A and B are shown apart, each in its own frame.
Chain A
Amino acid sequence: MKVRFTVNGHAATVEGDAEMRLLDALRDVLHLTGTKEGCGEGECGACTVLLDGLPVNSCLVLAAQAEGREVLTIEGLADGPRLHPIQQAFVDAGAVQCGFCTPGFVMSTYALLRDHPAPSEEEILTALEGNLCRCTGYVRIVDAVKRAAVQLAETRLGEARARARETA
């Protein structure tokens, strides 16, 4: 079986059997090992990636289901050496301990902040309740999400100002 899809903006072709999970296609075939397997049963969210913009547990998705679609993984966020503002916020807030849950949390946060640029606490909890972290007690993760929202808003404002100057 051959599956073609886009990963982090690049075309990818993956060969495997019908049972191959999207998680295996990413980790074992494409060597994108930033996406983690914490449980393989849809409970921990460590394997979260975006499929056509929606967060999914890649351990519950078959590779075949990604045919022709767009996948975004943790490796697709940073701009070269520059961290994505969400990643930077996780570092600054001290939201990372062992880090095994981190890629999943960052991806869930990415989807959240795209849809809710200024999320309420309730929206944050709803977006992240499918991601488990055993180390941090979540306190600093929530803080990171809030910091990232502020940072992204500032970036957008800066860009809007720059555009306004250009058109003026």
Chain B
Amino acid sequence: MEKRTTLIGASVPRPDAVDKVRGEARYVDDLAFPGMLHVAVVRSPHPHAKVLSIDASKALGEPDVVCVVTHRDVPGANVVHVIYDDQPALADGVVRYIGEPVALVGAVSRRAARKATLEVRVEYEALPAVTDTRRALESGAPVICVPAAAEGGGNVFNRMVLVKGDVDTGFGQADVVVEGEYETGYQEHAYLEPQGAIAVPDEAGSMAVYASMQCPFYVQGAVAKALGLPLAKVRVVQTTTGGAFGGKEDVPSQIATLAALVAWTARRPAKLVLDRGEDVLTTSKRHPSRVHYRTGAKADGTITAIDVDVVLDAGAYQTLSSAVLWRSLVTAAGPYRVPNVHVVARSVATNTVPNGAFRGFGSPQVIFPHESQMDRIAERLGLDRAEVRRRNVLRPGDRTSTDHRIEESVGIAETLDRAVVLADWAERLSRVEAFNKTHADRHRGLGISCVLYGVGLGGKAPSLDKAGATMKLEADGSVTVAVGTVEMGQGLSTAILQVASEALGIPMERVHLAPMDTSRVPDGGPTVASRGTMMAALAVLDAARKLRERVVAVAREVGIPDAAAAERWSEIARAFWTRNVDPAVEGWAKTEPVSWDPTTGLGDAYPVYAFATHVAEVEVDLATGEAHVVDFAAAHDSGTILNRALAAGQVEGGIAQGLGFALSESIPQKEGRLVVNGLTTYRLPTIRDVPLNARVDFVEAAFPAGPFGMKGIGEVPLMAAHAAVARAVAHAMGRDPARYPLDPPYVRELLSASA
């Protein structure tokens, strides 16, 4: 592991914040190109229908309309390339969800484009729709997905199993068995900046794409496939990205493909930016879930077995569902030592908007259950809820549910201890009990939650876990760095500058991170799975090592001693230039090998795991059913922290998203139609809903193979927060919720059931 010095861990302010506070950072909708068209999408109003005909003649006659594009105009493959290629870019013959793109209008103004979509006449013949997973799984249900994408048969996209030990034996050893059924609904990412992309026809028949996104290389692949171009002819540039949270992992491939189809047809730049209502209705969300969970434990609280059945509602197309499902499968046991495990997980197709990545990626759906079960075991056995967790959490040398023996960087027990101290757990519990004795109208509750998160893509997609960086010593001694993962608000660019500066031994101001451009760096996989900073930092360290070697050699040639290299850096850079020494280097990184056997579900699933424990205190108004978070403590093990302020910012933001998921965020779905009106009816946490007094700390169980010992943090805070909040509400009510969100109507329902 590299030596860490002053810059690593320091709360260096983010350089990109300056452009952002000035209003000068350029997001995709702030850009325009000469001759640029605006794109609007004609979308299916049916959850499942045949498309009989498309008549664009009236729309083409509208003022300012330049073109209408349908599947017939797609020059390459008519797909949005993600994993299975089952989703058409533009519907060809059949639509499978409300909002599915059928045709595109290109016009000189956004308003003209949107207006003209109403004039594109599409004739449909409705087909029977299946909009709920129970129905989709019934025998005899119509198959509504593309059969080739349904590896599990019928409407089952994927079916995965995990079998460790023998659950019958495990339950036989148990003194108590608890069983529960848990459901979660849609969560919308609600990144403040809506989805958008601009496609610009470029020289020599190539296409440039500027977009708000997490995964430029995914977009490059998708656009190349739809246009029938070699990858080398598609260049993707990331614009300043206004939040993503997984919502800009796969969806930008669709948005960019649609923009590129208009740009290609019209031979002009074309911009597609969704308006908020359209974004909420037609882009991916967190998979709604149904989980059945059975846990057996001995009288001392040690878990002997779990048996879990997970059903995720994938929506109409595969997109990322297989990968999301895999994470549900391998995370089902949580951060606990469970000798006997049986998990069956299925992703099921329905005629609803395809769901995709959302911070946590299939894990929150099993965390709500595993933390609820833990509390119920504690209650049955009369044990303290923190104590029962302490008796089960993974310790170095233990085996995870996938039988992965983990030796290093296993800090879950420390996060638990730290969170208990930060929250003043025992003392707070007695205060809560005292409060409840003296208040008839309001009750308080305390909740605790422990989570494990496999960092990176793991055994499901090992070929994506790599990263590249380029580094160039300029003639004046400044250094230009480029990496293949992106800044989307989380602070990657600042952390990368810190790492580069630390590794080169020159001030941060002398290092510049170039904008993300696929033509500048090799494919370094996606910025997802809390891997972005870790992987890019490893590649930067590799590049910095190579550059330093060259710097030392050149310094020696011109008689500068090693020790003086930093002070005389620009002199050395000048010597590179005068002596024609190659000043550019490439760095490369890949993760430790992982293994995973799909028949048993066992293997070394991830290179490393991050951990956290959160404690929430809530107050519930027993009359209105309103729950409010009044106190919060969070302890994380993400290995070495590169920048404390940034890391704490990730935690604070994750707490807000988690409490939103638990308490207020949801979208009802009726026959394939999402009942929501943008942010007007989708309730995001406001400044009044969050615990401004949250105490956040890090235990830093260093990961030797990580840069300076870091692993990942991005998703973990959300994952831990929602369950802590939900369990706090459960504690306040004295009732176990079976679904999210715990909004006032549901809390009132639970309270009246207990009366």
- Asked, given contacts A96-B14, A132-B686, whether A33 binds B30 with beta carbons under 8 Å apart, the answer is yes
**CB-contacts of B261-297 with A (<8 A):** 275-277
- Can you name the residue of chain A whose Cβ is closest to the Cβ of B651? A137
Q: Tell whether, in the assembled complex, residue B192 and residue A46 are in contact, meaning their CB atoms are under 8 Å apart.
A: yes
Query: Which residues of B pack against A, CB within 8 Å?
Result: 11, 13-14, 16-27, 29-30, 189-194, 240-245, 275-277, 488-491, 645-646, 648-649, 651-657, 677-680, 684, 686-688, 690, 692, 694
- Determine how close the nearest CB of chain A comes to the CB of B276; give it in whole angstroms: 4
Cα separation A103 to B17 with both chains bound (whole Å): 11
Chain A count of residues within 8 A CB distance of the other chain: 51
The answer to whether A136 has its CB under 8 Å from any CB of chain B is yes
Q: 1/0 contact trace for A122-159 toward B, CB 8 Å?
A: 00010011011111111111100000000000000000
| Distance between Cα atoms of A88 and B18 in the complex (Å) | 8
From residue A117, how far is it (CB to closest CB) to chain B in Å?
Answer: 20
Q: 5 A-B residue contacts at CB 8 Å?
A: A38-B193, A102-B17, A103-B23, A135-B489, A142-B692
Give the one of B23, B245, B277 with max A CB within 10 A. Answer: B23
Contact across chains for B488 and A138 when beta carbons are under 8 A apart:
no
Closest beta carbon of chain A to B284's beta carbon, Å: 16
Known: A128-B687, A132-B686. A97 touches B21 (CB 8 A): no
User: In the complex the two chains form, what is the Cα distance from A38 to B21 in whole Å?
Assistant: 16
A101 and B192 contact, CB distance less than 8 A: yes
Contact between B243 and A138 (Cβ–Cβ < 8 Å)?
A: no
Q: List 14 extra interface pairs beyond A41-B679, A132-B192, A135-B489, CB under 8 A.
A: A27-B30, A35-B23, A43-B678, A91-B14, A94-B11, A94-B646, A98-B192, A99-B242, A100-B242, A121-B692, A134-B656, A134-B657, A136-B649, A140-B649
| Interface residues in chain A, defined as those with a beta carbon under 8 Å from any beta carbon in chain B | 27, 32-41, 43-44, 46, 73-75, 77-78, 83, 87-88, 90-92, 94, 96-103, 106, 121, 125, 128-129, 131-142
CA of A103 to CA of B653 in the docked complex: distance in angstroms? 18
A6 to B754, CA, bound (A): 61
| Contact present for B687 and A75 (CB under 8 Å) | no
Task: Find chain B residues with CB under 8 A from A27 CB.
Answer: 30
What is the bound-complex CA distance between A75 and B20, given in angstroms?
A: 11
A139 CB contacts on chain B under 8 angstroms: 652, 690, 692, 694
Contacts of A83 in B (CB 8 A): 18, 21-22
- CB contact between A75 and one of B14, B22, B657 (< 8 Å): that residue: B22
Most buried by B among A36, A100, A136: A100
B489 touching A94, Cβ below 8 Å: no
B277: chain A residues within 8 A (beta carbon) = 41
Q: How far is the CB of B645 from chain A (nearest CB, A)?
A: 4
Which B-chain residue is minimally distant from A99 (CB atoms)? B20
Q: Decide: A99 and B17 in contact? CB cutoff 8 A.
A: yes
Contacts A38-B193, A44-B679 given; does A98 touch B242 at CB 8 Å: yes
Interface centre among B192, B245, B652, B654 (most CB of A within 10 A): B192
A34 to chain B, nearest CB (A): 2
State which of B22, B651, B677 has its C-beta within 8 Å of the C-beta of A87.
B22
- Say whether, besides A33-B23, A33-B30, A83-B22, A134 and B192 are in contact (CB < 8 Å): yes
Quick check: B649 and A91 within 8 Å, CB to CB?
no
The 6 nearest A-B residue pairs measured at CB: A34-B23, A98-B489, A99-B20, A100-B242, A137-B652, A74-B23
Closest residue to A100 on the B side, CB-wise?
Answer: B242
| Cβ 8 A contact of A138, one of B11, B193, B242, B690 | B690
Q: Which residue of A lies closest to B189 (CB)?
A: A134
When distances are taken between beta carbons in the complex, the residues of chain B under 8 Å from A37 are 29
Contact call A94/B14, Cβ cutoff below 8 A: yes
- Nearest chain-A residue to B689 (Cβ)? A138
Q: In the complex, which residue of chain A has the Cβ closest to the Cβ of B11?
A: A94
- Are A136 and B17 touching (Cβ within 8 A)? no
Name the B residues within 8 Å of A140 (CB-CB): 649, 652
- Complex CA gap A102/B684 in Å reads 17
Q: How far is the CA of A148 from the CA of B654 in the complex (A)?
A: 25
B21:A91 contact, CB within 8 angstroms: yes
Given contacts A34-B23, A125-B687, contact A98 B649 (CB under 8 A): no
A73 CA to B21 CA, complexed, in Å: 12
Give Cα distance in the complex from A134 to B654, angstroms.
9
Q: How far is the CA of A99 from the CA of B678 in the complex (A)?
A: 21
Are A136 and B680 in contact, with the CB atoms below 8 A? no
Give the docked Cα–Cα distance between A35 and B30 (Å): 10
Q: How far, in Å, is A57 (CB) from chain B's closest CB?
A: 12
Contact status B241-A96, CB under 8 Å:
no
Alpha-carbon distance A101/B687, docked complex (angstroms): 13
B245 CB contacts on chain A under 8 angstroms: 134
Pick the contact of A134 from B243, B651, B677 — CB < 8 Å? B243
- Give chain B nearest CB distance to A29 CB in angstroms: 12
Docked CA distance A96–B22 (Å):
11
Residues on A with C-beta less than 8 A from B13 are: 91-92, 94
**A97 and B491 contacting across the interface, CB-CB below 8 Å:** yes
Kindly report which residue of chain B lies nearest to residue A20, judged by CB atoms: B111
Which residues of A lie under 8 Å from residue B276 when comparing CB positions? 38-41
User: Is B679 touching A94 in the complex (CB atoms < 8 A)?
Assistant: no
- Give CA–CA (A53, B489) in the complex, Å: 30
Contact yes or no, B690 A137, CB < 8 A: yes
Which residues on the A side are within 8 Å of B241 (C-beta)? Answer: 98
Task: Please report the C-alpha to C-alpha distance between residue A99 and residue B646 in the assembled complex, in whole angstroms.
Answer: 14
Which of A91, A94, A102, A103 has the most B CB atoms < 10 Å from its CB?
A: A94
Q: Contact between A36 and B192 (Cβ–Cβ < 8 Å)?
A: yes
A91 and B652 within 8 A (CB)? no
Q: Are B22 and A131 in contact (CB under 8 A)?
A: no
Q: Which of A32, A36, A97, A142 contacts B27 (CB 8 A)?
A: A36
The reply to whether A97 and B490 form a contact with Cβ atoms under 8 Å apart is yes
Could you say which residues of chain A place their CB within 8 Å of the CB of B24?
A: 34, 75
Whether the pair B678, A41 counts as a contact (CB closer than 8 A) is yes
CA distance A154 to B295 in the complex (A): 60
What's the minimum C-beta distance from B237 to chain A, rounded to whole angstroms?
Answer: 17
In whole angstroms, how far apart are the Cα atoms of A34 and B16 in the complex?
A: 14
Residues of A within 8 A of B653 (CB): 97, 134-137
State in angstroms the CA–CA spacing of A27 and B273 once bound together. Answer: 14
Q: B645 is contacted by which of A40, A94, A100, A121 (Cβ under 8 Å)? A: A94
- Of all chain B residues, the one with the shortest Cβ separation from A88 is B21
Provide the residues of chain A in CB contact with B240, threshold 8 Å.
98-99
Q: Is the CB–CB distance between B243 and A100 below 8 Å? A: yes
Q: Which residues of B contact A41 (CB under 8 A)?
A: 276-277, 677-680
A135 to B705, CA, bound (A): 29
Given A91-B21, A102-B21, A97:B649 Cβ within 8 A: yes
| Beta-carbon nearest neighbor of A143 in chain B | B692
Distance to closest chain B CB from A50 (angstroms) = 14
Question: Do B488 and A98 have beta carbons less than 8 Å apart?
Answer: yes
- A129:B686 contact, CB within 8 angstroms: yes
